[in-house]
Amino acid sequence: MQIRRSREKRSAKSKRKRLSLRQGQVSPPLIVPENIPRPPYVGVKHVPEISSEIQVHDSEGIARMQDSCKLAAQVLEHAGTLVKPGVTTDEIDKAVHEMIINAGAYPSPLGYGDFPKSVCTSVNECMCHGIPDSRPLKDGDIINIDVTVYLNGYHGDTSKTFFCGDVDESAQQLVKVTEECMMKAISICKAGASYKTIGQTISEYAEKHDFQVVEIFVGHGVGRIFHSEPLIYHERNDRPGLMVESQTFTIEPILTTGRTNHVMWDDGWTALTADGSLAAQFEHTILITKSGAEILTKC
């Protein structure tokens, strides 16, 4: 689950008629058994402030991060098998929720601020934070599924954009390049590397393929805390700071086929491209090592 660099947001009322995506009915939040530990923000209505803590782990913390990220990756892989024309995003949410709680974990998005669901499902022009609802997926859709689990006190966070049925070549190319941008950025990460090289790497590769990088949504530190420093900018930037061995954070670029400005639905979460162009996103949680980066959310 991603965060904004700014809390500013635009109303979708004047733009929504230009967009193809329509909101369906949102069912009530699903129940989590009382015996499953909750993150500390559950029950608090406002979105938590971003922690200034750089999350660096000892050996036990790394092991717990590996476990939570492994579960998140497995849940995401299962969710992807459900993507078919006619399936609703609400059905995907229920399947994700059940798999997470059956593993004794908590679905991190549920109750984060007022987010009402256990997973984010972002279809077509939705950049991120789509709320699962009754809308059936259609042949030719693309959908990002963003899974975060809270297991043994640690969050594992990952997302992937999937094809629904017969997807046209331009959408396929967007999805392919977005994943390649993420992987190229991960490949340059290691202890002592500058955070700003992430945005430089992503921007250069996206522009080479005539896609645009969304600036307002960023990656973040993750671990015991859902969202913390460092904020990971995916476009060119002058952010100071160097990566530290044993820290964990996400890289999660969003690319579009058109402009990168956005509008928000009245739910306060669903962010869509203002011009209705397609958007795709991929995300991994990584662990920084002396010589590189370990992808914790890789199946």
227 marked as part of a ligand binding site: yes
78 marked as part of a ligand binding site: no
155 marked as part of a ligand binding site: no
Q: Which two tokens stand for residue 242?
A: 């160097």
Contact call for residues 169 and 175 (beta carbons, < 8 A):
no
220 marked as part of a ligand binding site: yes
Cα separation, 163 vs 142, in Å, equals 5
Cα separation, 236 vs 7, in Å, equals 21
Cα separation, 248 vs 244, in Å, equals 9
Q: Which helix (H) or strand (E) holds 62?
A: helix 59-81
Residue 57: other Cβ atoms inside 10 A: 19
157 marked as part of a ligand binding site: yes
129 marked as part of a ligand binding site: yes
Cα separation, 119 vs 53, in Å, equals 25
Secondary structure of 177-228 in the HEC alphabet? HHHHHHHHHHHCCCCCCECHHHHHHHHHHHHHCCCEECCCEEEEECCCCCCE
Cα separation, 20 vs 271, in Å, equals 14
Cα separation, 285 vs 178, in Å, equals 16
Binding residues: 129, 146, 157, 220, 227, 252, 283
Binding residues for substrate: 129, 227
Binding residues for a divalent metal cation: 146, 157, 220, 252, 283
